[in-house]
Structure 1
Amino acid sequence: MCYEVRARILVPMTSAATTAATRNQARDTTNPLPRRALDWRLRFGALSLVWGFSFLLIKVGTHGYAPFQVTFGRLLFGTVVLAAAMAVKRERLPRGARIWAHLTVAAFLLNALPFSLFAYSELTIPSTLAGICNATSPLWGMALSLVALSEDRPTRVRVAGLGLGFLGVLTVLGAWQGFSGLDARGTAMALLASLSYPIGWIYVRRTLAGTGASHLSLTGAQLLLATLQLAAITSLFTSVPAHFPLLPLLAIAALGTLGTGLALLVQYGLVAEVGPTTAQMVTYFIPVIAAAAGVAILGESLTWSTPVGAVIVLAGAGLTQVRPRENR
């Protein structure tokens, strides 16, 4: 999951072109969006499930393949889905060396780096914890936007949300117990992955906003570049598997086609139909579904501090998105 930095708010998005969704909404209201065959609430629920189960799929994928291989497969399958969508809509890849240079950085910060960090983190931490760490992205985003975005002004409510959110992180990690039983390296990787998203979106806002290219075109190019990056890294640091375990391979295929490719298309459709504010609410369901899937399917243990801390994290993240009334 990625972030669009939009008018004093960090909105969870999924590609370097989500600003196109905002432009689409600003068009003449006399031309309403075509009626969708599937109600947006059902698509919202499906997106929550797909992204929530992504952490379980990562864990299963690492049971048979190296983390870089999991990430490469995820990006490859996702790119195939977007390439098919571009072929159907007769979309072309963006043009211009400048756009491709910025997309290369965006692909690393928004796809290659966080996907790889999550895959490595789940070698040593439960998928439930990885999903909760992912929910800290709005907190990191708000903190970074205060520094990097001059138009973003702090308010008491948002600062309180930031403090509350990181208190929730400490609760999840069991700080009062000295973080005993916690794999520090894996947890740090998951938190760094969640930090990479807002860093990437601040970069995207500064470099790719207003390019005129379509959402699908920029997203397809971004995933293609991330796939090429992982292809190079995977060939350098891993060897070709001697055998291909079926269940982990199916998990990677599902992670790429559903959790990356199709999810991007569904998310953009939601933003265009109901707006980014409503669409971003999917973020608050992901850790709940990730925790439930990890416990029910993988048999991961869950202490009381994990769900309590997760609720605090989500409450804090919600407060960081509150804007002054005059700016709404």
Structure 2
Amino acid sequence: MQLKIFGMQNTSSKWLYLAVLSLVWGSSFILIKKSLLGLSPLQLGALRTLFAAVFLFLIGFKSIKTIKKEEWKWVAISAFAGTFIPAFLFAYAETEIDSAIASILNSTTPLVTLVLGIVVFSIGSNRNQIIGVIVGFLGCLALIWEGAVVNPNQNYWYALLVICASFCYAANVNIIKRYMQNISPMAIANGNFIILVIPSLIVLYFSGFFDSAVIQQEKVQISLMYVGVLAVVGTGVAKVLFNKLVQISTPVFATSVTYTIPIVALLWGLMDGEKFTFYQGIAACVIIFGVYLSNKRKKVRS
């Protein structure tokens, strides 16, 4: 009976973690949009990294002692691929495309991860995965095409920046899986941000942010509040929650957050006055279906 009750608690807990992560990560795209009202993409990317670094150092700085000397190379590569470069790519992308569209395109990350795993890391694949990649790619093309029709004033070439960010995330996942299995998630996160503090400060300095005339602007101060929430909650807290979700569930269940993030982001976008058509909804469903196919396990016949 105790085991049964524990199992029920574990089941309800994992759904709670999934819901919270969906809300947190789904809200990140509208926070990026609002942050850009007073900050440049360079300032946003740098500040997001620095704020997240401070938070993670406060809760887990001691964990870096567990990283071995020969492992720092992979920690550094992971830092730039998984955090630094995507932060700027998303910031620049959302200067031209809606936050909801960016979130949907970001859901292609599992598909890109699969492709890189096959091509670069020699990881095997099955028919469902190949079909899923093709379906997801067609959905992306349809979404970008329809977006260009609905919002002709937006430059949808910037959508490619989100795809590039997906490639960065995909490379990071494969690198962690291949070379960083023996490093704790907290150590990886803190190691990443130790590497990124100086590059972020350099970018922030040359962006003109430290000009007193810039900092004193009210819209800049409001944007800083949005960046703070984005960095601490969307990066720091979310990393801890996701690690816990993986521990109490399965990798397949944990990655299903990919399906729910665009729903939250879409709702935020609609409330903020973004346009989203029926055909864009169809294209989004095609992308998510492609992700589902690529993650679907083959049934074992008895």
TM-score with structure 2 length normalisation?
A: 0.87
Q: In the alignment, which residue of structure 2 is the partner of 1:23?
A: none
Name the CA shift for 1:250/1:84 in 2 (closer, same or farther; >3 Å). same
Farther-moved stretch of structure 1 (38-47 vs 116-125): 38-47
Asked whether 1:68 is paired with 2:38, we answer no
Equivalent of 1:254 in 221, 229, 248: 229
Report Cα offsets for 1:198-219 as digits up to 9, x if no partner. 1122233333233xx3221221
Question: d(CA) in 1 for partners of 2:124 and 2:34?
Answer: 42
Tell me by how many angstroms 1:247 deviates.
2.2
1:94 and 1:67 map into 2 onto residues whose CA distance is 34
Residue number in structure 2 paired with 1:11: none
Of 131, 138, 143, the match for 1:167: 138
Aligned length: 289
Structure 1's 62 and 93: CA in aligned 2 closer, same or farther, altered over 3 A? farther
Residue in structure 2 matched with residue 21 of structure 1 by the alignment: none
| 8 Å Cα contact 1:66-1:238 kept in structure 2 | no
Question: Do the aligned residues in 1 keep the contact of 2:102 with 2:159 (CA within 8 Å)?
Answer: yes
Question: How far apart in 1 are the matches of 2:177 and 2:255?
Answer: 17
Choose from 31, 39, 42 the match for 2:13.
39
Q: Tell me the secondary structure at the aligned position of residue 124 of structure 1.
A: coil
Aligned match of 2:57 in 67, 71, 83? 83
Name the CA distance, whole Å, in 1 between partners of 2:155 and 2:229. 28
Does the CA-based 8 Å contact 2:43-2:203 persist in structure 1? no
2:3 equivalent in structure 1: none
Identity %: 26
What per-residue deviation string (whole Å, max 9, x for no partner) do you get for residues 177-197 of structure 1? Answer: 889825133211111111211
Q: Give distance in 2, aligned partners of 1:46 and 1:183.
A: 32
Matches within 5 A, 1:1-328: 39-86=13-60, 91-150=63-122, 152-174=123-145, 181=152, 182-210=154-182, 213-241=183-211, 242=214, 243-244=216-217, 245-296=220-271, 298-325=272-299
Q: Which amino acid aligns with 1:248?
A: S
Contact 2:63 2:190 in 1 (8 A): no
More helix by share: 2
8 A Cα contact 1:43 1:266, kept in partner: yes
Q: Tell me, yes or no, if the aligned pair for 2:96 and 2:156 is still in contact at 8 Å.
A: no
Name the stretch that deviates more: 195-204 or 60-69: 195-204
167-176 or 120-129, larger mean C-alpha shift: 167-176
Q: Which moved further from structure 2: 224-233 or 184-193?
A: 224-233
Q: 1:177 to 1:291 in 2, by over 3 A?
A: closer
Between stretches 179-188 and 76-85, larger displacement belongs to 179-188
Alignment root-mean-square deviation, CA: 2.6
Name the SS of the counterpart of 1:64 in structure 2: coil
Deviation of the 1:278 alpha carbon: 1.1
Shift of 1:98: 2.3
Where do 4+ consecutive residues of structure 1 move more than 6 Å?
175-180
Structure 2 unaligned blocks of 5 or more: 1-5
The alignment's TM-score, normalised by the length of structure 1, stands at 0.80
Alpha carbons of structure 1 residues 236 and 93: separation in structure 2 relative to 1, 3 Å: farther
Mark the runs of 5 or more structure 1 residues left unpaired by the alignment. Answer: 1-31
Alignment partners' CA distance in 2, 1:308 and 1:98 = 47
What secondary structure does 1:222 align onto?
helix
Q: Is the 8 A contact 1:174 1:305 kept in 2?
A: no
